[in-house]
Structure 1
């Protein structure tokens, strides 16, 4: 099968998935991204994301992960005109990160309307990194160092497993692997959100914590505050989770395409200053090793 045939097949799946989410896919946006990363996609894990809330309206996100560790996904995006060059520190952070830290694999996010959005850098599961070391990178937001005590209080500061860089929004996602069980208990979630000045968690968020494996934070260059906290659970069937699934997400769960025998989803609830919103990541092309890379087994 030719490369173009494979890309055409993947594009058709992206287009179908977008339609399920009520979003019209732009070929002019998506096809250049597929061709830019074509050499790396054969082995990539492919996932789609639907979400509620105002900030997620009007687009449908795709995620390619398990890309080669020696790949600079941001450099690929720049060289193919997928994102504008910038003098902002967001544009130099990935190169610093990959130069100074052990990166096991990479990934990207893009919207079928908005285009290229994020890069992902995964650290080895047996070599999680510390925020204090990350804070030494010249391009890292000052908000990371400003919140070092906060993350240390919850035994998260030395457990960074994954770094996401959001270029349009100029923000940073920090994922914490093998987080202590206390973090996911109701009192732990409540304390973290209060400490971060994000308000009280909903009952749905507290119930999701009982089956959660992941916690991550969003920070930016513009503010010293933790902007968002997200709790995530992995499941082969989101309808079995102890939370009420939003209708938009339930529709996608029931109809989302997949190409591997195992169906897997990550269901997450994010706490933000404007309230909570829900996200579902549906794996189209799943690999069992993803569970190990995300350290799911530590809490399930």
Structure 2
């Protein structure tokens, strides 16, 4: 789809739906057409200009899903829109107040939404300005933030994960929050550091693949919930224009998706990530259906990260 071609909102919705349909067919993911179109029509006000990405993941619990995420108009309340239209249930849980707390206490550059073609609406992304990254200690003090962020400040500092945050992902289905550090350690995370931090939060011993990705990571994030004082998992992400060039063996499902995407657009950008779990890590690949000039800011990519990809 040419970015220069004048297209209407409905054209953009139909084009993205067609791309979802093709990818889901390749991955043998069964879904309800009406449910996907409902999300696209509700949030697609800026879809002609939005940054759009797909994500696939490994593991039995994730193999039957295809995620789509895209940026949405800055002037809407993405959480209230989801509740008003039955995509999320209204709840008294702190997760329902976190977006408002962030908006009231921090400068916000923009929002994104994340939905599974099978599982429905999942996350809201909150993008903070690259010129106004927020201190982790400040975010830990927000009333609705999981207390595990405050409880983990020493852990974050000791392992050098970062002092500031540039992006947050609020998962309403699983009631978790992803905290993306704005200034990851230069040169990635050393293998001994990866082993140490995972051991400290009772995660599985990392594989050699995970250690290699940690060393090359441009981004690090932690997942927190409201039921535990500890970090739930840690994720390391690398940016690339060719996942096959990474020093890892791609999962069969991810490899198939990469080949499909690169046939359509050989210049597609990817983010490949590994996430820890108590019972073993899993991998996920994000491909960009539409890239935009703001993506490096959203992702907190260092200058040249994709000009000289890993």
Shift of 1:43: 1.5
C-alpha contact (below 8 Å) 2:9/2:47 kept by paired residues: no
Distance 1:48 1:258, change over 3 A: farther
Deviations 1:275-298 (A, max 9, x none): 011100011111243123322226
Q: How far apart, in 1, do the equivalents of 2:240 and 2:193 lie?
A: 22
The correspondence of residues 50-69 of structure 1 with structure 2, limited to 5 A, is 50-65=56-71, 67-69=72-74
Q: How far 1:89 sits from its partner (Å)?
A: 0.9
**Counterparts of 1:282 and 1:271, CA distance in 2:** 21
Counterpart position of 1:101? 106
- Of residues 145, 148, 151, the one that matches 2:150 is 145
Distance (Å, rounded) in 2 between the aligned partners of 1:171 and 1:48: 20
1:242 and 2:253 correspond: no
The answer to whether residue 27 in structure 2 is matched with residue 45 in structure 1 is no
Q: Determine the C-alpha separation between the residues in 1 that align with 2:76 and 2:242.
A: 33
- Give ranges in structure 2 of 5+ residues lacking alignment: 1-6, 306-310
- Pair 243,81 (structure 1): closer, same or farther in 2 beyond 3 Å: same
2:162 equivalent to 1:164: no
Query: SS of 1:29's equivalent?
Result: helix
Q: How many residues align?
A: 299
Aligned partners of 2:9 and 2:48 also within 8 Å? no
Separation in 2, partners of 1:211, 1:298: 15
Following superposition, the deviation at residue 258 of structure 1 comes to 8.5
How far does the alpha carbon of each residue in 1:220-241 deviate from its partner, in whole angstroms, 9 at most, with x for none?
A: 0111121111110010010000
Give the whole-Å Cα distance in 2 for the aligned partners of 1:152 and 1:211: 20
| Secondary structure at the counterpart of residue 174 of structure 2 | coil
Q: How does 1:140-289 map to 2 (within 5 A)?
A: 140-181=145-186, 183-256=188-261, 262-289=267-294
Distance apart, 1:131 and its partner CA: 2.0
Q: Equivalents in 1 of 2:56, 2:93: separation in Å?
A: 29
What is the rounded CA distance, in whole Å, between the counterparts of 2:136 and 2:224 in structure 1?
13
Cα distance, 1:145 vs structure 2? 0.9
Give TM-score scaled by structure 1 length.
0.93
Distance 1:258 1:291 in 2: 24
RMSD (CA atoms): 1.9
- In structure 2, relative to structure 1, the CA distance for the partners of 1:133 and 1:242 (3 Å cut) is same
- TM-superposed deviation, 1:2: 4.0
Structure 1 residue 55, shift from structure 2 partner: 3.2
TM-score normalised by the chain length of structure 2? 0.90
SS for the counterpart of 1:268 is strand
8 A contact 2:136–2:163 mirrored in 1: yes
User: Can you give the 5+ residue segments of structure 1 that lack an aligned partner in the other structure?
Assistant: none
